[in-house]
Amino acid sequence: MSRFWSGRFEGYSMNHFKKDLLSGTIVGIVAVPLAMSFAIASGVKPEYGIYTAIIAGILISLLGGSKFQIGGPTGAFVPVLLGVVLVYGYENLLIAGLLAGIMLVLMGVLKLGSLIKFIPRPVTVGFTAGIAVIIFTGQIPNFLGLTGLEKHEKFIDNIREIANALDTLHVPSIFVALLCFAIILLTPKVFPKVPGALVGIIVTAVFTAIFLNGQVATIGSTYGDIPNSLPQFAIPDITWERIYMLLGPAFVIAMLGGIESLLSAVVADGMTNSKHDSNKELIGQGIANIVTPFFGGIPATGAIARTATNIKSGATSPMSGIIHGIFVLLTLLVFAPLAIHIPLASLAPVLMLVAWNMSERHHFAHIVKLKSGDSLVLLITFILTVFTSLTFAVQVGIGLAIVLFAKRMSEGLVVSKVLPDHETKHGKVMPHVVTEQHDCPQISIYTIEGPLFFGAAQTFETSILKAIGVRPKVLILRMRKVPFIDTTGEEYFRNIVTHFKAEGGTLLVTGAHPTLKAILDANGLSEKIGQENFFYNTGDAINEAIRHIQRKGCLGCKHYAFRECQSLSLGNENESISRPLETIGK
């Protein structure tokens, strides 16, 4: 514990505490309306969002891997949690959150934090934009004051509900929503350090209570009173049947929570020139999500906007996040009875602006304009997120991204037939030198550039087998620019070695990187090729190759591919085969 404290609060002073107190208070003010809004949008009571901001907010700051992370309910979770609530119910949402927490802890313990960064950017932008669309459209009923709607899991069903309920449009609700929207936009211009959402909610709540009392739906009229007491500890009814049923939703919550929390931590690193511990962050997030359900809280993760606000407000340590949670707790204990007067129409523009800001519209437009494979991955992920489910969208998006990556990598593999260019100082081997009139019948040299993996291995085999088809005596493979080989590439390579040696040929390998050589050693290919047939540079391999050729085959040959060819063509057996200069292309 002392190590934990010294590492995260080393050199901490009263001056640091004052800065953390200010930043934690500011973020707490921002968090209160958002916590209630996200809870309502997720289909649960507003106080559950408050409980989440308190408990998860404190635990994530205390145990996470980022000094500046602010945790709590977030917009990214809204469609996922709403779907779980509609299909399985609130109590099962708590169990799903608990299971997700366990998964996050396991991911951190197994040090899988760094793997999340391999999720392609078009996939994250695509599903984030899709989530933003779902959140935005989900607030249209409250913005317009529509009544008689039933919430559905599917986006298209909710749109139909909105369309069918347009005849219930409520002008006072629209006025309150527009008033709150205007205040949110104008407040930062007049008072830059004052949260516009909080001002908008307070002003419209007071206005509604005075002039529109009973005419506009409020938190109180819809959800009842908010208890101004500490959240009560309760153990959900956990059964094996429920666990099995909720593993899928829990995994989605865990993956989304892990992605968003680590993205938030990366943003914090960029703003503060610090470095977070991704695995520790996952463990902290996991513990927070394990504990929170026992107090009625919904799943939580790192909140990018609140984390950025925390840093801009002068935070110096995790203490600001702890203070943020304490501030939300005090707000619950003191002001909870007043929250029932908040109009639902006031919360709608708050969430709509959250959706607008999280949509990453600039990145979205940029990737689409590229008109590349990434554009296709983005659009498909976005469309599937909106019209099917986040789980399916991410699976398809990542799968498609892998296919496109494999295609690009396979196109990046270059297999070139080369010969020494005697017009250069060191006789550097080059592809342009090879012609029908200038190509050794007995020695074939190929340069391989790129990884030999499943997407490119067949191209490699086809090119080399074509060379074997003309039956050279020696095949030299220059592999300095082959970074790795997978099992598929290994199998194709083994086929080449087996086939060529069966034809009585000698295969030489030059420039193999130590990592590649270690793989070849481990899978037995080095022994099959012959350890003596590996060379550091091409010049030595050519010297060895000339020792294996049939000298009678050189008589009268006019290709003159190597320095020795002219003498060998004339039958000069005493020609020196030392080539101290032909070491280029090592």
- Residue ranges and CATH numbers for the domains of the chain are 23-368 (no CATH), 413-569 (3.30.750.24)
pLDDT (mean) for 353-379: 92
Please give the structure tokens belonging to residue 53.
């901001």
**572 vs 312, which has greater pLDDT?**
312
Poorest-pLDDT segment among 36-50, 138-152, 407-421, 512-526: 407-421
Output the pLDDT for position 573. Answer: 58
446-459 confidence digits (pLDDT tens) = 999 988 888 788 88
pLDDT (mean) for 88-108: 96
**How far from 14 is each of 11, 21, 272, 348, CA to CA, in Å?**
10, 10, 20, 40
Output the pLDDT for position 341. Answer: 92
pTM above 0.75, yes or no: yes
In this structure, what DSSP letter does residue 531 have? G
Question: Cα 326–64–259 angle (5° rounding)?
Answer: 110
What is the Cα 442 distance to its own chain's centre?
51
Radius of gyration of the chain from Cα atoms? 33
* 534 beta partners: 509
pLDDT (mean) for 507-520: 91
pLDDT (mean) for 90-104: 96
Residue-wise burial string across 200-220, b where 16 or more C-beta atoms lie within 10 A, e elsewhere: bbbbbbebbbeebeeebbbbb
Query: What is the spatial distance between Cα 546 and Cα 565, in angstroms, rounded to a whole number?
Result: 10
Phi, psi of 405 (to 5 degrees): -65, -45
How many Cβ atoms from other residues are within 10 Å of residue 322's Cβ?
Answer: 18
Q: What is the mean pLDDT of the chain?
A: 88
465-474 confidence digits (pLDDT tens) = 876 767 788 9
Query: What is the spatial distance between Cα 439 and Cα 99, in angstroms, rounded to a whole number?
Result: 66
Query: What is the spatial distance between Cα 101 and Cα 287, in angstroms, rounded to a whole number?
Result: 6
CB 537 within 8 A of CB 583: yes
Output the pLDDT for position 248. Answer: 92
Given the DSSP bridges, would you call strands 534-535 and 474-481 parallel, antiparallel or unpaired? unpaired
Please give the structure tokens belonging to residue 402.
């892998």
How many Cβ atoms from other residues are within 10 Å of residue 411's Cβ?
Answer: 12
**How far apart, in Å, do the first and last CA atoms of the chain sit?**
54
How many Cβ atoms from other residues are within 10 Å of residue 480's Cβ?
Answer: 18
**431 vs 324, which has greater pLDDT?**
324
pLDDT (mean) for 168-178: 96
Residue 411 binned pLDDT confidence (cut-offs 50, 70, 90): confident
CB 35 within 8 A of CB 197: no
Q: What single-letter amino acid sits at 290? A: I
**SS3 for 176-211, per residue?**
HHHHHHHHHHHHHHHCCCCCHHHHHHHHHHHHHHHH
**At residue 51, does pLDDT exceed 90?**
yes
Output the pLDDT for position 7. Answer: 57
Phi, psi of 234 (to 5 degrees): -150, 140
Q: What crossing angle do the helices spanning 344-358 and 171-190 adopt, rounded to 10°? A: 50
Which residues contact residue 179 at a Cβ distance below 8 angstroms, ignoring those fewer than 6 apart?
200, 203, 204, 207
**How far from 250 is each of 66, 142, 201, CA to CA, in Å?**
24, 29, 33
Output the pLDDT for position 8. Answer: 64
Residue 204 binned pLDDT confidence (cut-offs 50, 70, 90): very high
**How far from 339 is each of 107, 225, 333, CA to CA, in Å?**
38, 8, 11
Output the pLDDT for position 574. Answer: 53
**At residue 584, does pLDDT exceed 50?**
no
Instruction: Tell me what percent of the residues of the chain surpass a pLDDT of 70.
Output: 95
Which residues contact residue 432 at a Cβ distance below 8 angstroms, ignoring those fewer than 6 apart?
421
Poorest-pLDDT segment among 3-12, 71-80, 281-290: 3-12
Residue 6 binned pLDDT confidence (cut-offs 50, 70, 90): very low
Query: What is the spatial distance between Cα 127 and Cα 197, in angstroms, rounded to a whole number?
Result: 25
pLDDT (mean) for 337-354: 92
Residue 168 binned pLDDT confidence (cut-offs 50, 70, 90): very high
CB 218 within 8 A of CB 46: no
Query: What is the spatial distance between Cα 528 and Cα 524, in angstroms, rounded to a whole number?
Result: 6
